[in-house]
Amino acid sequence: MNFAVSLALGFISIVLINNFVFTKFLGSCPYLGVSGRLDMAFGMGMAVTFVTTLAGAMTWLIDHLFLNGTPLEVTRYVCYILVIAGAVQLVEMYLRKFFPSLYEAFGIFLPLITTNCVILGLCIFLNLWQIDNFLMAVVLSFGAGMGFTMAICIMAGIRENLAMADIPECLQGAPITLITAGLLTLAFMGFAGMIK
Amino acid sequence: MTENQMTAWKAFRGGLWDEIPVLRLMLGLCPTMAVTTSVKGGLTMGLSVVFVLICSNVVVSMMRNLLKPHLRIMMFTLTIAAFVTIADMYLKAFQPVMSEKLGAYIPLIIVNCIIICRSEACAAKNGIWVSAVDGLAMGLGFTIVLCFLASIREILSTGCITFSETAVWTVLNPVDKGGWFTPWAAMAMPVGAFITLGLTLGAVNQLTKKKA
């Protein structure tokens, strides 16, 4: 029972309090690039969630089965990036087969998930935080992906309305998105100190 | 030979202004926002990126004729990961405090879009010399942007720029040292990062629009 509670707390904390986009700035590039339309943002978020969950679980296993405490530790980052690239390839193949329209819409951003910092960032943070339980690692990975999805969907919703607003010419596009994101982080800081 | 030097010069100028990484290409935003709470952090990050960028550009340029198209991104990332591991271990050994502070963001250089973008756009098409110059210029451009943003944020959030315990450069005299400036705590938080970068981008857009 206690363990279930700590899992739930971990999930809430990584989605709301330690949200990767708002507090760790990870995944800013797709956050600005793909947040133009709500449906694409949601698709992107789902793809990232899938890859983070897979990559988080696999890198945790690799860490604990092969790398920890052996001289092979120096190859950690190389291993991580290989696992992530493989997982992204899997998602790419799946989307091309079953959701061709979504596949077309993503274009270059899909292979770029490989270099999405949320995923590698999560793998590295799992290592830094010394998560020693497999289930916890999976829950945190899933939570990080959900946090990213939530952030990018909120942003896409705002940007769809922002398109109608009268913005000074020099601030159009990325600058105003960044400023909006800044205000959003202020709102999310309200969650800080809720747990842990 | 002259043509080769021309392109090298073009690459150099491109990195420092025409295509200056963060502000023009909109790449590498995550580390930009994360490490710019202090100038020293920004500088360390920038120099690590210079090192990784030069090395990976040279290696990618050397193997550019051997690459199969569908495997190239994979090879790029693996090359970069190897050099980032070196940089990370160097910092852990010789700059332990800084390494602790930057934490996960040093290994995250691997997925810094600037580096993979330069491998793809420059090193995979050009010779070793041009690629090395391009790496140096892009890295320096990135470092300059980081230091610029970091100095704005550090001055507004603490009133001074701190390099070490003894080397503190006070710009605005803060209240707790008997001055007049109330430190602006929000600038050290994520809000400050997003808004400083957004306004800087806006200012750059405005400047370049007038010139054109």
Looking up tokens 């449906």, which residue turns up?
A39
Q: How do strand B168-170 and strand B160-162 relate by DSSP bridges?
A: antiparallel
pLDDT tier, A149 (very low <50, low <70, confident <90, very high otherwise)? very high
Would you place residue A146 in the very low, low, confident or very high pLDDT band (cuts 50, 70, 90)?
Answer: very high
In angstroms, how far is the first alpha carbon of chain A from the final one? 19
For tokens 């080397």, name the residue.
B167
When CB atoms are compared, the residue of A80, A115, A178 closest to B113 is: A115
Whether residue A66 lies inside any domain: the answer is yes
Name the minimum distance, in Å, from the CA of A1 to any CA of chain B: 32
Alpha helices by DSSP H, A25-69:
28-33, 38-62
- Residue A89 predicted with pLDDT over 50: yes
**Domain carrying residue A78:** 37-161
pLDDT tens track for A48-61: 898 899 899 999 99
Contact (CB<8Å) B189/A185: yes
Which residue range(s) make up the domain with B25? 2-211
Place of tokens 């830094």: A128
Per-residue confidence band for A195, with pLDDT thresholds at 50, 70 and 90 = low
| A184 pLDDT higher than 50 | yes
Nearest to B111 among A115, A176, A186 (CB): A115
Query: Which residue among A29, A115, A175 sits closest to B198, beta carbon to beta carbon?
Result: A175
What pLDDT, on the 0 to 100 scale, is given for residue B2? 42
Angle, CA B36 vertex, CA B31 and CA B41 arms, to 5°: 90
- The number of folded domains in chain B is 1
Give CA–CA dist B92/B148, Å, rounded.
Answer: 25
Q: Within 10 A of A187 (CB to CB), how many other CB atoms are there? A: 11
Q: Closest Cα to residue A62, out of A36, A43, A45, A84?
A: A84
Average pLDDT over residues A178-185: 88
* Full-model pTM: 0.83
**Number of domains comprising chain A:** 1
For chain B, the residues whose C-beta falls within 8 A of a C-beta of chain A are 26-27, 29-31, 33-34, 73-74, 77-78, 81-82, 84-85, 88-89, 103-104, 107-108, 110-113, 116, 186, 189-195, 197-199, 201-203, 205-206, 209
For tokens 């819409």, what's the residue?
A105
Confidence at residue B125, expressed as pLDDT on a 0 to 100 scale? 81
pLDDT, greater one: B22 or A95: A95
State which residues of chain B have pLDDT below 70.
1-6, 14-15, 17-19, 22-25, 165-166, 210-212
